[in-house]
Amino acid sequence: MAIDIFRRILVPVDFSSCSSEAFRVALQMAKAFRSDVIILHVIDTSAVAAFNRLGLLAVPSDETKQRRRLHHQARLKTRQLLASQSTEGVPIERVVVEGAPFVEIVKFARQERVDVIVLGSYGGRSENMDKIFFGATAEKVVRTAGCAVLTIPLPAKKIRRDIVL
């Protein structure tokens, strides 16, 4: 008999190794608790805007095409993530939104009445050593979420390969 504690599990992903590990753990939880899993990817609009100001991604007239391309890439990477694990028997919903990652994660969790958020303890980008060991987004989600939050680090072997100091 499954324990009725975590019916809806939210897994925010940035497609880093750490978020892939969080997805793996969330799937294990979902199978144990017979939960639904929601994969959420947030397109960081502030980062995109900064790149655009520098002329690195797109000229202003291409902004709509760029947004479509980012959504398309997120869907493709989500499919790859799903293909990397056995998801049999786990209802999974995929969502892509735009905004500030921690704001959108917390807002989504509250609106959708999520029971637990499972996320990587750090993401694909890190500005300093503190953020490597506990990412800025993860920290803000922990402090502001209205539900339980489980942060997942990479196993020690993977950390050595992912972090270049």
Question: Residue range 147-158: average pLDDT?
Answer: 83
Q: What is the CATH number of the domain that holds 138?
A: 3.40.50.620
Question: Residue range 127-136: average pLDDT?
Answer: 50
Domain that holds residue 34: 8-162
Integer CA distances (angstroms), 127 to 10, 20, 43, 82, in order? 26, 21, 19, 29
Tally of structural domains, the chain: 1
In a domain, 1, yes or no: no
At 133, the pLDDT band (50, 70, 90 cuts) reads: very low
Angle (CA) 70-138-92 rounded to 5° is 55
Q: How much is the mean pLDDT over the chain?
A: 84
Q: pTM (2 decimals)? A: 0.83
pLDDT at 93: 98
